Amino acid sequence: MSEGHDGDEGGHHDDHGHDHEESDGHGHDDHDHGHHHHDLDALGASVVTVSSSRSLDDDPAGDAIAAAFEVEGHEVAHRELVPDDFDGVQGTVKRLVERADTDVVVTTGGTGVTPDDVTVEAVRPLFDKELPGFGELFRDLSSEEIGTRVVGTRAVAGVSRGVPVFCLPGSENAATLGAEEIIVPEAPHLAGLARREE
């Protein structure tokens, strides 16, 4: 994590060079996650489980992600299960970021290193902007639980058509960690920034 913030070493600016005086983004404000005027108060989340062996009735990772949003007062607008198939995953995410009821998309599954793990390859071309800090932080937090096995975890995130998209591993523990510790706390801020031009 030595890259810094793309030259954003001193002041903290958004993509348009605006200063955010109320918080430096590192917890130095008066409350935990400073609420900014462009944050979305209530999100509509679409959750996609990528699996060729599960069903929505047997989807502990998807359930954990949905619960993380709902407990914070957000709405799960859509749940879907797609098999480990490049075109199917890409088409599903592409369709969901265009839905009016969806402010954030979270996928679970298909981020490993087996030949049928194609989520990252399918979703990454849809990103207008990548969010490398998500994968870095997720792996940092995950290493406390799984140690060096974290090198096989390819969690990624980016913004597609103004909608943050997060790709998590398929295990329930990984989905819970990513959703509760990173995605749900940060998605209102990211979604508000990403769509601010609209």
As given in the structure block, the two tokens for residue 96 are: 């969901």
Q: Three-class SS string for the chain?
A: CCCCCCCCCCCCECCCCCECCCCCCCCCCCCCCCCCCCCCCCCEEEEEEECCCCECCECHHHHHHHHHHHHCCCEEEEEEEECCCHHHHHHHHHHHCCCCCCCEEEEECCCCCCCCCCHHHHHHHHCCEECHHHHHHHHHHHHHHHHHHHHHCCCEEEEECCEEEEEECCCHHHHHHHHHHHHHHHHHHHHHHHCCCC
Q: How would you classify the pairing of strands 129-130 and 156-160?
A: antiparallel
Q: How confident is the model at residue 11 (pLDDT cuts 50, 70, 90)?
A: very low
Which phi and psi (to 5°) does residue 181 adopt?
-90, -25
10 Å CB burial of residue 134 (0-12, 13-18, 19+) is buried
Residue 90: CB atoms within 10 A of its CB come to 19
pLDDT tens profile 89-121: 999 999 999 999 999 999 999 999 999 999 999
Show me where the domains of the chain are located.
44-194
pLDDT tens profile 130-174: 999 999 999 999 999 999 999 999 999 999 999 999 999 999 999
Q: What is the pLDDT at residue 34?
A: 54
66 neighbors 76 (Cβ within 8 angstroms): yes
71 neighbors 134 (Cβ within 8 angstroms): no
Q: How confident is the model at residue 187 (pLDDT cuts 50, 70, 90)?
A: very high
Q: How confident is the model at residue 39 (pLDDT cuts 50, 70, 90)?
A: confident
Domain 44-194: give its CATH architecture.
Answer: 3-Layer(aba) Sandwich (3.40)
As given in the structure block, the two tokens for residue 128 are: 């207008």
Q: Structure pTM? A: 0.82
Residues 129 and 6: their CA atoms lie apart, in Å, by 13
